[in-house]
Amino acid sequence: MTETTDQVKTWLNSDLTSLEDLYTELAKTSPQSNAMGGDLAKQGRAMLLAIRTGLHDLICKNDEISNHPAVSGGSDDINDTIALTAIIAAVIPSDLGTGVNATLIAVLIARIGVRNFCIGAST
C-alpha cells in the first residue's frame, strides 16, 4: 500500500472519516474528476459503482478475501481490517484507471463490507 498505516487507520475509522469523506477523497484524487464541492462525493460514489463490475470477481471469488477473519469471522480487530484492506488493494488491477487510488478503493470496500460489496448492496 502506498498510504501510511496511520492514513489507512483514519480512513477505516468511522468516527474520524465518513463514507462521504472517502467518496469525496476518491473523486478529488482522480485525474478524471471534474466535480467540485458537494458533487465530489456523488462523483466518487459513481466512480466506485463504475468499476464495481470489473472488481466483483477479483474480490468476491478470492478465497483469501472471503475467508479472511475480518470477513468470515467478523473480527473487529483493526489490524485484521488493515490486512484485509491490503489484500483487497493487491488484487485491484493497475489498469483499472489512471490515478485511481487502489488503497482508497480497498478501504471503501472494507468499510462498505466485502459481503455487501459482493451482493451489490447500495454504497
User: What is the pLDDT, as a whole number, of residue 112?
Assistant: 94
C-alpha cell at 44: 466518487
Average pLDDT over residues 2-10: 84
Q: Report d(CA 29, CA 122) in Å as an integer.
A: 22
Q: How far apart are CA 109 and CA 116, in angstroms?
A: 9
pTM for this model (two decimals): 0.86
Q: What is the DSSP letter of 32?
A: T
pLDDT of 88 over the 60 cut: yes
- For the stretch 40-54, pLDDT in tens is 889 899 889 988 888
- For residue 33, what pLDDT band results from cuts at 50, 70 and 90? low
Give the gyration radius of the chain's Cα atoms: 13
- Closest by CA to 72, choosing from 118, 9, 16, 7, is 118
pLDDT exceeds 70 at position 85: yes
Q: For residue 100, what pLDDT is reported?
A: 76
